Structure formats: C-alpha cells, structure tokens
Amino acid sequence: MEFVFDLPAIPLALAIVAITCLLALGGLMGFRRYVLPHLRFTETDTNISVALIPSIMVIYGLVMALISVHVWEANQQVQAITSHEATTLSALYRDASEYPEPARSEIQDAIRGYMEYVIREAWPLQRKGIVPTGGVQLAYRIQQAITTFEPTTESQKILAAETFSTYNRMVEHRRMRLDAVETHLPVEMWCVILFGAVICFITSYCFAGADSRVHALLVLLLAVFVGLLIFLTAALDRPFRGDLGISPHPYELVYEQLMKR
C-alpha cells in the first residue's frame, strides 16, 4: 500500500473518505438486516448504549488526536532538520569565501556540487521513499577540500576550525535528514487507527428504534469525519512524500541567492 502515500492530496482525501463512507453504510445495511432483528433492546440496554457509545467515540477521538499531533510534530522536526542543513551549507559557503585561492574555489565548488545533487537527484529519490546514497562521496569531497588547506596565520587557524565545525554540523543534519526518509508510524499504530474506526462504526449501528434514513445520515457523517482523520494521518506520515511532503525550497533558496553562477 506504499503507493497510497504518493497520491495527490485531494484525490487521496476523496478516496479515503469515499471508502470509509461505503464501508460504514454497507456495514450499517448488513447490521440492520441480519443482526439487529435478532437483538432485543430493553430500556436498560438503550441507556447503556447511550452512555457507552459516546465513551468509545471520545476515546477514539483522543487517540486520533494524539496520533495526529505526533505525526505533525515529527513532520515539523524533519522540516527543521532540512532548514538547518541548508543554513549550515550557506554558512559553510560563506566561510569558504574567506579562504585564499585555490582552497576557496575547491571548497565552494564542492559545496555547490553537493547542493546541486541534493536538489536535483536526492530529493526526487526521497519523495519516492528511497534513501539517497550518492551524497556520501560529495560530502567527503567537501571534507577533503577543507582538511587539505594548511593555515599559516592565527586568523586562518581560527577560520579553519570554525569551518570544520560548521561542516560537522552539516553532516549531522544530513544524517538526520536521511534517517527521516523512512520515518513513519509502525504497523501496529495503523492497526489501532483502522480497527478503532471499525469499532466506532459497529457501536454506531446499535440503535434499534432509529429511523433508517436518520441512522444512515449520522453514520455517514461519522464516516466522513473518521475518513478525514485517517487522510490527515496518512498525508503527514511520510515527511517527504505526497503533495504535503517537505520540499527542497530551503536548499533552492540558498543555491539561487548564494551559489548559482
């Protein structure tokens, strides 16, 4: 089902909501025809149902709220990681501008090549859920260009130390970005989401005296709401995938304003 996370946002939302509505209404029709006639609801049973059903709905709503907040926060953390990596690359490029030639051109060319790779090759792979590996040699090329320079003055020593420190921060952010490519909710969590929705639908069927049209309308509204919650979770579950996936805009901005020849 990985292809689901690559669908455009609006078709994905419509598809999930439509599926939940069809399943909910189909289950209601089957329940009212085959199950409900065999159940005998007393006044006490009705009172219990009225008390229990909202409790189940509230619990499911709280679970979905916590999961949605977790997914949103994880998405924002990954976005912050990409912004930090782009920022450290910008700082690294500016630090390199203070180096004498030919070290200056070597370092800046290496940084520019790495940035072009991230934007043009790494990001399309990330949007497919694939961890890119081509940046290893390009990052190492930056390191070689920095470490081969031999500072001769105190100011150059300070500059070299600060540049290497900035490079290390960039490598840390790069590693965290690559780790985030495979970030997602575990299968067990998705089972809780989906089976919880099924439980909500089944409990909403247990109204013996309700008018069938009113009953169907209420179940339909519940299905729409549950479908939207599932869509929101799915759309944000993979940070780099789909229409709501994180874009390489911070890198493009740094490249256009600072590195483009």
pLDDT tens for each residue of 89-115: 999 999 999 999 999 999 999 999 999
* Residue 121 pLDDT grade (very low, low, confident, very high; cuts 50, 70, 90): very high
**Distance from C-alpha of 9 to C-alpha of 225, rounded to nearest angstrom:** 16
User: When comparing pLDDT for 251 and 261, which is higher?
Assistant: 251
- pLDDT for 47-74, tens place per residue? 666 677 788 888 998 999 999 999 999 9
For the entire predicted model, the pTM comes to 0.85
* Residues in contact with 246: Cβ distance below 8 Å, sequence separation at least 6, in sequence order: 75, 78, 79, 82, 239, 240
Average pLDDT, the chain: 90
Helix ranges (DSSP H) in the chain: 9-30, 43-96, 103-117, 123-127, 135-147, 154-180, 187-204, 212-237, 249-254
* Residue 2 pLDDT grade (very low, low, confident, very high; cuts 50, 70, 90): confident
What single string gives the DSSP state of each residue in 148-187?
T----SHHHHHHHHHHHHHHHHHHHHHHHHHHHTT----H
Answer whether residue 206 shows pLDDT above 90. Answer: no
How big is the chain, counted in residues?
261
Indicate the domain borders of the chain.
57-184
Q: Contact 49/236 with Cβ under 8 angstroms?
A: no
* Residues in contact with 58: Cβ distance below 8 Å, sequence separation at least 6, in sequence order: none
Q: What percent of the chain has pLDDT over 70?
A: 94
Q: Which of 97, 229, 85, 244 is nearest to 169 (CA)?
A: 85
